[in-house]
């Protein structure tokens, strides 16, 4: 299964996928291409260091979404590289355009909160400010909404009294690095079916 | 510490408090009075069986909130019985009136979800329909909002593929029956302080 990874930042979740592929946990998965909307994003450097094709594709003039001509370029690049599953790993743009129709049910995202709590940006900060005692991460299929798609997997993190947004973020990321490769393996193995908007994982 | 319990239903959380008092886990806590807005609510029967004062107080003409003359009657009954902490245990009315000023920071509620996910009614049903993989319960201080007050404690429940709203509700209730008495013990021991809207629990 060829996957394409979209990211805007450091790419620590991308690295987790690379590691899972290398260690054999994601046997049969090939990272065909990495695309970033940020020219000097570290995720591109990481990809090249791992001999994975990496492209910067400008997504202007939009600032917060992938749309229009830029979206077409992304879709073409993913298609040209034979991508079957698109993984959003810290990609900081909303996706609601035709890419969803090109890859129906084949785009996933990892979000740093127990959705539907704390959608949107800096969920770890939202969580600390709200004062929750538990948070975590959610791997979900992407739909037109903001972090609203069907959930594949959630992992829990307990907040300690001294936790800051930063310390919580680190704990959540550690869970993301396990949950995202695992969710990819479920898709690779065809183990996910839908009941309405619920996912059921076969054993 | 004298507590008053308000409930509209079966009173299984009330029973958990009774059990915790009897077993010595809530030493120093006395359930001074139980009040229900439902005349034949089983919580009143349970209270009487345990020799605890129990009153039905009509909350009409309102259907979904405690307000006006009815609220005054509730406040008077709680005061007359020396209540220091008000515990909502399945009380199906919004509280946003003067009772909050009479018992500032002294009204707590247990909610069957990991707030801020799934506030409002039938949270277990909301959770199953949304398709989350984890839910749980939240004990929180009551403020003017719907299930928005500062969180004292949260406990996690993992959903299994076969879970129905009913089976999830049972699993959440089992956690509520531990979390609510524990939260009461934290208040009894003065172990909760605030940082903004966050609670910090001293050890």
Domain count across chain B = 2
Domain end call among A104, A139, A156: A104
What does the pLDDT look like over A54-72, one tens digit per residue? 999 999 999 999 999 999 9
A80 and A113 both lie in a single domain: no
Residue B4: its pLDDT value, please?
98
CATH of the domain at B160: 3.40.50.170
Q: Token pair of A4, please?
A: 């394409």
Touching check for A68 and chain B: CB below 8 Å?
no
Residue B141: its pLDDT value, please?
98
ipTM metric: 0.94
The CA distance from B167 to the nearest CA of chain A, in Å, is 16
CB contact burial A41-73 (16+ within 10 A = b; e otherwise): bbbbebbeebebebeebebeeeeeebbeebbeb
Q: Token pair of B120, please?
A: 């409002």
Domain end call among A104, A126, A141: A104
State pTM to two decimals. Answer: 0.94
* pLDDT(A203) > 90: no
Residue from A3, A120, A101, A97 nearest A52 by CA: A3
% chain A with pLDDT above 70? 100
CB within 8 Å: A132 and B116? yes
What does the pLDDT look like over B71-84, one tens digit per residue? 999 999 999 999 99
Domain end call among A104, A139, A164: A104
List residues of A with catalytic annotation. 111
CB within 8 Å: B156 and A133? no
Residue from A45, A57, A33 nearest A9 by CA: A45
* pLDDT(B111) > 90: yes
B64 and B127 both lie in a single domain: no
The residue range of the domain holding B21 is 1-104
Number of A to B CB contacts under 8 A, please give it: 65
B34 forms beta bridges with: B5, B54
B27 and B68 both lie in a single domain: yes
A95 and A157 both lie in a single domain: no
Mean pLDDT in chain A? Answer: 96
CA distances from B30 to B8, B24, B76, B93 (A): 20, 11, 18, 24
């Amino acid at each position: 299964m060829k996957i394409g990874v979209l990211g805007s930042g450091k790419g620590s979740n991308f690295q987790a996928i690379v590691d899972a592929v290398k260690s054999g946990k994601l046997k049969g998965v090939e990272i065909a291409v990495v695309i970033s909307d940020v020219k000097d994003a570290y995720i591109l450097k990481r990809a090249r260091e791992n001999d994975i094709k990496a492209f910067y594709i400008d997504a202007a003039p939009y600032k917060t979404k992938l749309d229009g001509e830029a979206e077409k370029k992304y879709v073409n690049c993913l298609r040209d590289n034979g991508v079957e599953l698109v993984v959003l790993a810290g990609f900081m743009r909303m996706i609601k355009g035709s890419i969803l129709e090109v890859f129906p049910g084949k785009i996933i995202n990892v979000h740093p909160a127990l959705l539907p709590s704390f959608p949107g940006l800096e969920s770890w900060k939202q969580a600390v400010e709200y004062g929750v005692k538990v948070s975590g991460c959610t791997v979900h299929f992407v739909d037109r909404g903001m972090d609203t798609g069907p959930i594949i997997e959630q992992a829990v993190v307990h907040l300690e009294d001294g936790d800051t947004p930063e310390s919580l973020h680190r704990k959540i990321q550690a869970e993301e690095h396990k949950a995202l490769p695992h969710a990819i393996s479920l898709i690779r193995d065809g183990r996910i079916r839908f009941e309405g908007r619920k996912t059921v994982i076969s054993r």
